């Protein structure tokens, strides 16, 4: 007797959908069922990149089908797809599921290094990732992604001219550095940059994205306001070093997103240059910028520390030659960025589960900010 699709679906109902009370069939995890003779091919999706969860579902499907159809050849393909927050009103950027801003109080704390590695690692995990380099003071993504000489091409979509992001290491990139002249005064660059930022986000052919990461300039300026006014930023992360001066500014950086009218959830802090480790003494940790400062600030603001990234020469070198260290496998540095990325993804999932989607913000010159 031939295998019926309905029987396959019935058999799959014994497999639980992770972190729900539902099974994978009713929970909508089954994307495709193809039956060809005694071959059953299943495509299933989970909303977390956590390996053991993915594996548990995959094994569950195999076991359930083997039990129901002992002579069948079972083939399971797993996909990872992020849950999208439910948006009831106007959907801005419907193809982009999560917009995550990476901010810092001070410059030079490693914000771009963190963002580049977050993007590369997310892409390695199977997410569709875009990256906007919005740092007017020092756009560094073209160097970090080794695409300094490239320029985005134009393309017409539905009669509208759009930019095609430059792509490397599985990450789609647009940088303000592609459009502004570094020799121009920052103020002039700034007014062009706010305009360019909107174009980069709205007039670009991003396609479907799980994450659009935004590398913001340090501090809290026009670019930050333009961003929260233009798009619903899903969440922000704040990068700091353990130095007292950096922490004071990091608090202000996080404070901007916390403002009543802005209310972009801050997922947590990333401590960069947490300690120095020399290549020849990989077990040694020297807390040259101080210890536990970020932990204290985070605890004080009720936020988690998502990562502690060491100061290691190879991280700097990898950035300088345009090959973020997350491209490596199994080095301690790459592992630190892997853990960081996992935490950012998990906190984003939690945020989407527990909080409503972010609203765009309308600013008024006199009254500060009012939510839309």
Residue of 98, 121, 234, 272 that binds ligand ADP (CB under 6 A) = 272
Residue of 47, 98, 140, 226 that binds ligand ADP (CB under 6 A) = 140
The stretch among 106-114, 123-131, 191-199, 244-252 that binds ligand ADP (CB under 6 A) is: 106-114
The total of other beta-carbon atoms located within 10 Å of residue 356's CB is 11
Could you give phi then psi for residue 101, rounded to 5 degrees? -90, 135
Under the criterion CB under 6 A, does residue 220 sit at the interface with ligand ADP? no
- Spatial CB neighbours of 127, under 8 Å, sequence gap ≥ 6: 49, 80, 82, 210, 211, 345
Contact 254, 101 (CB under 8 A): no
Under the criterion CB under 5 A, does residue 112 sit at the interface with Mg ion? yes
Contact 129, 209 (CB under 8 A): yes
Sequence length of the chain is: 372
Cβ distance to ligand ADP smaller for residue 106 or 351: 106
- Written as six digits, the tokens of 48 are 């977390």
Residue 347's binding partner among ligand ADP, Mg ion, none (Cβ under 5 to 8 angstroms by kind) is none
Smallest CA-to-CA distance from 84 within 270, 357, 335, 345 is with 357
Provide the sign of the torsion angle of the four alpha carbons 352, 361, 220, 94, taken in this order.
Answer: positive
The stretch among 86-94, 135-143, 305-313, 341-349 that binds Mg ion (CB under 5 A) is: 135-143
Under the criterion CB under 6 A, does residue 109 sit at the interface with ligand ADP? yes
Q: Site mask, ligand ADP, residues 310-329, x = CB under 6 A? A: -xx--xx--x----------
Q: How far is the CB of 315 from ligand ADP (least distance, A)?
A: 4
Q: How far is the CB of 297 from Mg ion (least distance, A)?
A: 21
- Spatial CB neighbours of 314, under 8 Å, sequence gap ≥ 6: 279, 325, 331, 333
**What are 157's strand-pairing partners?**
160
Cβ distance to Mg ion smaller for residue 241 or 358: 241
- Written as six digits, the tokens of 149 are 């000489």
Q: How far is the CB of 33 from Mg ion (least distance, A)?
A: 47
3-state secondary structure of 143: helix
Residue 113's binding partner among Mg ion, ligand ADP, none (Cβ under 5 to 8 angstroms by kind) is ligand ADP
Mark 218-252 as b/e (b = at least 16 C-beta within 10 Å).
bbbbebbbbbbbbbbbbbbbbbbbbbeebbebbbe
Q: How far is the CB of 183 from ligand ADP (least distance, A)?
A: 19
Cβ distance to ligand ADP smaller for residue 133 or 210: 133
Residues of the shown chain interacting with Mg ion in the complex, contacts defined by CB under 5 A: 112, 135, 140
Residues of the shown chain interacting with ligand ADP in the complex, contacts defined by CB under 6 A: 104, 107-113, 140, 272-273, 309, 311-312, 315-316, 319
């Amino acid at each position: 007797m031939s295998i019926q699709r309905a029987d396959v679906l019935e058999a799959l109902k014994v497999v639980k959908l992770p972190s729900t009370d539902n099974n994978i069939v009713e929970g909508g995890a089954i994307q495709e069922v193809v039956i060809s003779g005694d071959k059953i091919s299943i495509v299933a999706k989970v909303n977390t990149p956590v390996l053991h969860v993915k594996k548990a579902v995959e094994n569950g499907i195999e076991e359930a089908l083997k039990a129901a159809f002992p002579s069948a050849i079972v083939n399971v393909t797993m996909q990872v797809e992020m849950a999208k927050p439910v948006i009831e009103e106007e959907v801005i950027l419907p193809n982009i599921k999560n917009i995550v801003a990476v901010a810092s109080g001070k410059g030079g704390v490693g914000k771009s290094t963190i963002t580049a590695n977050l993007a590369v690692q997310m892409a390695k995990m199977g997410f569709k990732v875009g990256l906007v380099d919005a740092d007017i003071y020092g756009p560094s993504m073209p160097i970090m992604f080794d695409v300094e000489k490239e320029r985005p091409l134009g393309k017409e979509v539905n009669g509208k001219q759009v930019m095609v992001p430059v792509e490397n290491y599985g990450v789609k990139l647009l940088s303000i550095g592609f459009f502004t002249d570094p020799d121009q005064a920052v103020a002039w660059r700034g007014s062009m940059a706010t305009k360019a930022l909107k174009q980069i986000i709205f007039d670009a052919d991003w396609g479907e994205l799980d994450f659009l990461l935004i590398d913001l300039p340090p501090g809290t300026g026009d670019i930050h306001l333009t961003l929260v006014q233009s798009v619903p930023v899903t969440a922000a992360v704040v990068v700091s070093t353990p130095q007292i001066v950096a922490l004071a500014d990091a608090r202000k950086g996080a404070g901007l997103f916390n403002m009543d009218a802005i209310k972009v959830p801050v997922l947590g802090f990333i401590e960069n240059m947490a300690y120095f480790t020399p290549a020849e003494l990989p077990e040694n940790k020297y807390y040259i910028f101080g210890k536990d400062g970020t932990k204290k600030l985070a605890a004080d603001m009720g936020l988690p520390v998502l990562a502690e990234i060491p100061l290691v020469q190879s991280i700097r070198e990898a950035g300088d030659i345009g090959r973020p260290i997350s491209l490596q496998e199994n080095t301690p540095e790459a592992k630190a960025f892997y853990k960081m990325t996992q935490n950012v993804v998990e906190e984003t999932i939690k945020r989407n589960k527990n909080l409503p989607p972010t609203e765009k913000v309308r600013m008024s010159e006199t009254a500060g900010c009012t939510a839309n």
